[in-house]
Amino acid sequence: MAKVKYHYNPDTLSYSKILPKRGTFLRNGILILLAVSLTGFLGFIILSNIIESPKVKVQKRELENMKLNYELLSKRTVQHTDRLEELESRDNTIYRQFFEAASVPDEVRKAGFGGVNRYQSLEGFENSKMILNLTKQMDVLSKRIVVQSKSLDEIVKMAENKEEMLASIPAIQPVKKQELTRMASGYGMRMHPILKIRKMHEGMDFTAKKGTPIYASGNGVVTRANRSSSFGNVVYIEHGYGYKTVYAHMDKIATKKGKKVKRGDVIGYVGNTGRSVAPHLHYEVHKNGRPVNPIYYYYGNLSPEEFVAMQKAADQDGQSLD
């Protein structure tokens, strides 16, 4: 019960009840209502932070499952990357080496993505770092798979053309060994017979009688058949697959520019034209635009013993004939 208050009147020497004003009742009611509402609101906030709703629990479970799936996917990405690296290694060191094709550089296989920030939409979230890392891994892996797929397509094409390729690679001596006087000079630094200085000799010199037939060492197309100041009568053959051969100092040329030739076709005859001091054939093999030692391209008609003997003669540090 509310406490009753009285007022003393000295004039009448009596007490009278103090009645509350009508506005006081209204104000007190509003204050009580506000206090109850505020208490209820604060209670709801506190309880909502302590007690999770079923919806929040479901969302949290989904988030945890998503994190777990991302972790598993990341591990599988690493496993697939390891397997891809093994395939890339075999591709460069076995498959492409077998077909004498250039290796695919790592900077091509593992190149990143330039330009605008392609991952900007993934930033600003609680787990952005994890999502960004995985997305970048997947992008790089996808690109490497595309590069490797194209490389394997090339390998398949080279395998289909293997017979043609093997016929095109220089594989025989341009002068038959029965017709050789000797192998005069090999590939490497040699004393030039005319300039009298040590100079890189980019081919091999085969001495033979003037008029001895010269044979194409592989299938190809004649790209040059004329006379030059240094090589005299010379023939160039483009074999494809990165190979080119040069036949210099001929007495006579027996082919012409643009003609398709096969391994063993006669293309000219041994002579002493150009900058030369004796009848011989100067023979060069080029691979991907650079001269290489021709001695490694006679596997078509030399026995192991004959190869060793030729290698020994070629290694002698003597004088070339051109």
> pLDDT-derived band of residue 260, with 50, 70 and 90 as boundaries?
very high
- Backbone phi, then psi, for 141, in 5-degree steps? -60, -40
Q: Which of 69-73, 185-189, 243-247 has the highest mean pLDDT?
A: 243-247
Residue-wise pLDDT tens digits, 93-103:
777 777 777 88
Angle at 177 between CA 191 and CA 305, to 5 degrees: 90
For the chain, percent of residues with pLDDT exceeding 70 = 70
Question: What's the DSSP call for residue 211?
Answer: T
Within its chain, how far is the Cα of 129 from the centroid? 27
Cα–Cα dist 251/266, whole Å = 13
Are the beta carbons of 298 and 245 closer than 8 angstroms? Answer: no
Cα–Cα dist 204/186, whole Å = 5
For residue 83, the number of C-alpha atoms closer than 13 Å in the C-beta half-sphere is: 7
**Quick check: 133 pLDDT over 70?**
yes
Q: Which of 139-143, 156-160, 283-287, 298-302 has the highest mean pLDDT?
A: 283-287
Structure tokens at 54: 């079923």
What is the DSSP track for 256-299? -TT-EE-TT-EEEEEB--SS-SSSEEEEEEEETTEEE-GGGG-T
**What pLDDT does 166 receive?**
84
Q: Following CA atoms 227, 236, 311, 277 in sequence, which dihedral angle do they give, to the nearest 10 degrees?
A: 0
**Quick check: 27 pLDDT over 80?**
no
Structure tokens at 195: 């300039």
Higher pLDDT, 106 or 234: 234
CATH code of 170-314, in short, is 2.70.70.10
Within its chain, how far is the Cα of 315 from the centroid? 38
Question: Directed axis angle between helix 54-90 and helix 128-160, to 10°?
Answer: 30
> pLDDT-derived band of residue 56, with 50, 70 and 90 as boundaries?
low
Cα–Cα dist 276/254, whole Å = 20
Average pLDDT (82-109) is 80
> pLDDT-derived band of residue 238, with 50, 70 and 90 as boundaries?
very high
| Helix (H), strand (E) counts: the chain | 7, 14
Cα–Cα dist 89/159, whole Å = 19
- Backbone phi, then psi, for 188, in 5-degree steps? 135, -170
Structure tokens at 301: 């008609």
Average pLDDT (202-216) is 91
**Quick check: 310 pLDDT over 90?**
no
Within its chain, how far is the Cα of 115 from the centroid? 20
State pTM to two decimals: 0.54
